[in-house]
Structure 1
Amino acid sequence: MRTGKAAIALDLPLPTALAQGKQQGAYAALRDAILDKRLAAGSRLPSTRTLAERWQLSRGTLELVFERLRDEGYVNRVAGSGTRVCAVVPDAFIAAGSEPAAAPACQPLSAPGTASGASVQVGVPFVARLADPALFPLKAWSQALAKALATAPAALLSSPDAAGLPALREQIADYLRRYRGIRCTAQDLIVTSGIRQCIDLLARSVIRPGDKACVEDPGYRTARSLFARAGAQVVAVPVTAEGIDAQALERHLDARLACVTPAHQSPLGVTLSVSRRLMLLDWATRADAWIVEDDYDSEFNYNNAPLPALKALDHGDRVIYCGSFNKTLFAGLRVGFMLVPASLRAPLLATLQGTGGAVGVTEQLGLAEYLANGSFVRYLRQARQAYQQRRDLLLACLAEHAPGRYEVSGQQAGLHFVLWLPTGADEQDFCQRAADQGLQLQPIGSFCQQVQLRPAVMIGFTALSDAQLRFAGRKLAALLYEVS
C-alpha cells in the first residue's frame, strides 16, 4: 500500500501539457505539484521506474525530467535516499493565485539618466562578452529584411506604434511563451533599444526621489548608476551561491524595486535557486515593490535548456521582465524589449515617447520576419554550440597549463565565467600584469559596493577565435603560476 507524499505523485494525472511533449508534460505535472505544495519540501518522489509504469512513459524520459528538476533546484537526488523535494514554497505564493496583486503607484519622471558600461570588444581577450558577429548569418538576415520591407505598407514606415511594431511584439510574445515559460501577449510588451534602456525608462518612470532601489552586490554597475541618477537611495544586497540574498531583502520592505539577474547573475554567474525565486516574489508582494528581471544571456545555457524565467512564476504581476537581442544576435542591432504590468504601461510609454528613444521600424520589421521564419531559433542552436566549444577549449587550456592554480564558477551558462585567483593574489596587480601581456581583465572587486570577495576576474570567451583562446589561455595560465 502506498502512503505518504510519494503516493501523491503517483496519483497525479498527466496534464494537458503532454501536447507539448511527454517530457514537458511530466515536468509540468511534478513542478506544479511542488509549487502547489501537493508535494511538500522534504517529501520523497517515487522512483523513475515506478512513475514510468504509472504514467506509461519511458524511464529515460523520466530521468531527464528528474535531472531538470534537480538542475532548477526543485529536488535533490542522493544515491540511496532517492529524490526529495528541496524547494521551499512560501504560503503567500499559493495564496496569490491568478489574481494580480495591488500594483505600487507610479509617477512619471523626466530626470535624465544614462550610464556607460564596461567596454567589451570582439577579439579582445578576455572582455569579449559579446555575440560573435562572425557567426551571424547575414544572408538569412538580409533575406528576412528584404521580404519584410517589400511587404510593409507605406503608412507603417511613417506612423509606427510607440510600443513597437505589433508583428514584432507578437513574435517576441510567442518566443517567451515557448522558450521562457512566460504567459504573455503582445499587448504586454514594449520594444526598446536594449536592457539598458529598459532600466533607464524604469528609473525615469517608476523611481521617485528618495525611493529605495535594491541591487545585487556585486552587480550590474549601469543599473546602480541609472537608479542613483533618478534620485533613488541605492541599496546593495549581497549575492550568495544561490543568488541574491532574499533574507537580506527583508530589511528593505520599504523598497520601491529590486533589480536582479536570476538566470546567470552578473557578474558571478550563479543561478537564482527556485526557493530564492519564490522568496523574492513573496518579498515583492509584502513590500508592494517591483522586481526587475534582467535576463541578459539566458539563451546560452550549456548544461541543459534555459531555466524558466522568474517571470514564469509571477502570479502577482510584480516582475518587469527585460530582454535583448543585442546579446544574442549582434551588439549593433539595438533591439530589446520589456514585459510590463498593465499599470506601468502608460507611464513607460509616455517616458519613451518624451525621450524620443523608439527603435527604428526597419530593424523591427526585419527582426519580426527573422523570428517568424524560424531563423532566430536555428541561429541560437548554432551559436550555443559554438560558444560551448570555445568555453571548453579555454577551460581545457587552463587545466593543462595551470592545474590547481585557480577555480572557476558560472561556466554553466552565459558569455563569461569567473576565474578565482590563488589565495593572497591582488586583483588589481594581476589585471595590470595581464594588460602588459595584451589581456584585458575586469576584477570582480570593481563590481562590488560593500561585499568583499576572494580575488577573481571575469573571463569573456564568446567573441574569440580558437587560436586566440589557445594563445591567450596559455598567457593567462602563465600569469596564474606567477602569483605567489
Structure 2
Amino acid sequence: MDTIILSDWLHARLDRAHAEPMYRQVLDLMQQAILTGQLAPGTKLPSSRTLAADLEIARNTVLHVYDQLTAEGYVISSTGSGTYVADTRPQEARPPVDNVGPKKPCALSKRGARLIGQAGVSPKQWGAFMPGVPDVAEFPARTWSRLQARLWKRASPELLTYAPGGGYRPLRRALSDYLRVARSVKCSPDQIVITTGIHQSIDLAVRLLTDFGDRAWVEEPCYWGVRSVLQSSGLTLVPIPVDGEGLNPLERDMREPPRLALVTPSHQYPLGMVMSLARRRSLLEFARQHDVWIIEDDYDSEFRYGSRPLASLQGLDEAGQVIYVGSLGKMLFPGLRMGYMVVPEQLVDTFRTGIAELYREGQLMQQAVLTEFIMDGYLTSHVRRMRTLYGERRQLLIDSITAHFGDTLDVMGDEAGLHLVLGLPDGTDDRAVAAAALDAGVVTRPLANYYVDQASARPGLMLGYACVPNEQIGPAFETLANVIEKAIAPADARRHRKVASR
C-alpha cells in the first residue's frame, strides 16, 4: 500500500458519525495496516499536513497519531527525512541471514505433557452430578457482603498489602480454635499457614521437604489433582492399595520407606472408607522410625451423616511428622480459594518464609472477612445447615439408585462428604459411560481416572449430590441410569430392571 492508497484506504474506513474520536479511529486503522503488512516496513508515510488535508481532519489529530505510533514503536521519525514504518516483524519472519533453516515448533516438557495428558479438570463445574462442589446458592451471601462492607469502610493499609508470613493472625487464631474443637487438631495459631487451597498447601510442602526423584506414597485410588501436583514436582509415586481400613502398605512397600505419604484418613478419596485406629497408629510409628512426612488431606470431614466428624490423624501425632491440610471452599464456596495447613512446630518459620518467597500471598481483606464470619458464629451455623441439606440429597440419590438398580450395583463412600461412588459391573468402560452421560447433560467422573495402576482399577462413577437441588436428583439420575443400562450387557440390564421392580 503506497501513501496515496493509504489516504484512500483510511478515508473509506473512517466513520465520522461514530462516537469514537477521530484520533482513535485513525490510530487503530494505521496500527492494523502495519501489523497485517499492508503498510510494509520502510514505507514512508505522508506528511501530517498532507494526510490531514486528504482525510479532511485537523492536522493536530494526525500529529497526535504519528506521535503515538512513534512511542509504541510502529514508526520511526527522522527530522528532515520523514516518518517511516518500522520493521516490527518477528525475527523468524524476516529474510534469513544464514542457512540455519527453520526453527522447530515449541514442545511441552515431559512433565508438562504428562500433566496435560492426564488432566482430570472438567469443563463443567456445576450441576448433576459434579463431585466435590458445594451448593453455593445456599451460601449466606448477604451476611458475607455486610461483613465485607463493614471492613472496607475502615480498611487499614495493613489489609491492603501482602500477607505477613502465615496469613492474617486473627484468622489463624480463629481457625486454631475451630480445628481443636471440630477436628481434634493439636495446634497453636502460629502453626497455621493460610494458603489458596489444598493444591497450594501440598505444593509448598513438596517443594520444601522433598527433592526430585524422592518416593511418595499415594493411596490407590487417589485424587487426580494432588497426584498431578506430586508428579509435576518430579516425585516418584508409589501407589499403595486401600481396603476397608484405609491405607494398606505391603511388606515390600515398607522395606523402602518414602520421603512422604499423602493420605485421606477421615474419608478416603474417592472410595470413602475411614482409616482404622490400628492403621493410623501403625502409619505414625512407621513415619517416626523412618523420618517420613505425612500429609493429611482432610478435605470434607465436616460433612458426616449419622455420626460426629472423626478425629484427625494429626491429633494422634506425637513426633511432629504430620502436616494437616484443609480447605474452606467446600464449607463455604470454591471461588473463595482459601485453605490452610497446620505444620509441626519445628517447621513454622520454614513454611512462613517459603510461602512468602514463592507466592507473595495477599487476600488479607478476604481473610479478615472470614475471621468475622467465624467469630460471629456464621461458619458453624452454615456448616450445620448444609450438613442437613446434603444429608437429604444424599438419601434422595441413594433412593434413586435403589429404585433403578436395586442392590445390584454397589454404593460406596456415602457416609460422609459431598459424593458417593456407584460401582459398575466388571468389564464396564466407565470412561465411556461418563462421556456418554456428559453428552446427555449429566456430569460424572469415571473411577478409573483415580488409579495410578490401571490394571487394578475397578469401574465406577463418582456422583456428587451437594450442588443438585432436591427436585432435580431423580430426573438427572433417570438420565444417567439410561446411559448406564446401554453400556452394560443387555442381559444385565434386564436383570437390574427386574430386581428394581420387586
TM-score (norm 2): 0.70
Q: Aligned partner of 1:217: which letter?
A: E
C-alpha change, 1:155 and 1:122, in structure 2 (3 Å) is closer
Deviations 1:158-177 (A, max 9, x none): 36422100000000000011
Identity of aligned residues (%): 35
Match of 2:473 in 1: 469
Q: Find out whether 1:394 has 2:369 as its counterpart.
A: no
SS at match of 1:469: helix
CA shift, 1:150, in A, is 4.4
Contact 2:165/2:353, CA 8 A, preserved across alignment: no
Match of 2:410 in 1: 407
Q: Distance in 2 between matches of 1:347 and 1:424?
A: 48
Q: 2:193 aligns with which of 190, 193, 201?
A: 190
Match of 2:58 in 1: none
Moved more, 362-371 or 157-166: 157-166
Q: Find out whether 1:301 has 2:290 as its counterpart.
A: no
Match of 1:420 in 2: 423
Contact 1:146/1:366, CA 8 A, preserved across alignment: no
C-alpha change, 1:167 and 1:124, in structure 2 (3 Å) is same
Q: Distance in 2 between matches of 1:248 and 1:443?
A: 30
SS at match of 1:365: helix
Q: Distance in 2 between matches of 1:381 and 1:123?
A: 22
C-alpha change, 1:126 and 1:191, in structure 2 (3 Å) is same
Match of 1:478 in 2: 482
Within-5 A mapping of 1:446-465:
446-450=449-453, 452-465=456-469
Q: Find out whether 1:373 has 2:391 as its counterpart.
A: no
Q: Find out whether 1:279 has 2:299 as its counterpart.
A: no
CA shift, 1:256, in A, is 0.9
Deviations 1:172-213 (A, max 9, x none): 000011111112110111000000000111121111122111
Q: Distance in 2 between matches of 1:174 and 1:427?
A: 43
C-alpha change, 1:212 and 1:185, in structure 2 (3 Å) is same
SS at match of 2:380: helix
Q: Distance in 2 between matches of 1:249 and 1:220?
A: 24
Q: Aligned partner of 1:342: which letter?
A: E
CA shift, 1:399, in A, is 1.1
Contact 2:148/2:369, CA 8 A, preserved across alignment: yes
SS at match of 1:158: coil
Contact 1:237/1:248, CA 8 A, preserved across alignment: no
C-alpha change, 1:396 and 1:159, in structure 2 (3 Å) is closer
Match of 1:383 in 2: 386
C-alpha change, 1:452 and 1:367, in structure 2 (3 Å) is same
Deviations 1:336-367 (A, max 9, x none): 10000123223322331222241411110000
Q: Distance in 1 between matches of 2:123 and 2:380?
A: 25
Contact 1:145/1:369, CA 8 A, preserved across alignment: no
SS at match of 2:222: coil
Q: Distance in 1 between matches of 2:269 and 2:197?
A: 16
Moved more, 167-176 or 278-287: 278-287
5+ unaligned residues in a row in structure 2: which ranges?
Answer: 1-110, 490-502
Match of 1:139 in 2: 142
Q: Find out whether 1:224 has 2:227 as its counterpart.
A: yes
CA shift, 1:452, in A, is 1.1
CA shift, 1:391, in A, is 0.8
Contact 1:402/1:478, CA 8 A, preserved across alignment: no
Contact 2:163/2:361, CA 8 A, preserved across alignment: no
CA shift, 1:267, in A, is 1.2
Q: Distance in 2 between matches of 1:253 and 1:247?
A: 11
Q: Aligned partner of 1:233: which letter?
A: T
CA shift, 1:413, in A, is 0.4
Moved more, 281-290 or 427-436: 427-436
Moved more, 458-467 or 355-364: 355-364
Within-5 A mapping of 1:216-295:
216-247=219-250, 250-251=253-254, 253-295=256-298
C-alpha change, 1:401 and 1:156, in structure 2 (3 Å) is closer
Match of 1:440 in 2: 443
CA shift, 1:122, in A, is 4.9
Q: Distance in 2 between matches of 1:120 and 1:419?
A: 22
Q: 1:319 aligns with which of 307, 318, 322?
A: 322
CA shift, 1:410, in A, is 0.2
C-alpha change, 1:159 and 1:194, in structure 2 (3 Å) is closer
Q: Distance in 2 between matches of 1:160 and 1:149?
A: 17
Q: Distance in 1 between matches of 2:200 and 2:150?
A: 29
5+ unaligned residues in a row in structure 1: which ranges?
Answer: 1-110
Q: Aligned partner of 1:265: which letter?
A: Q
C-alpha change, 1:127 and 1:381, in structure 2 (3 Å) is same
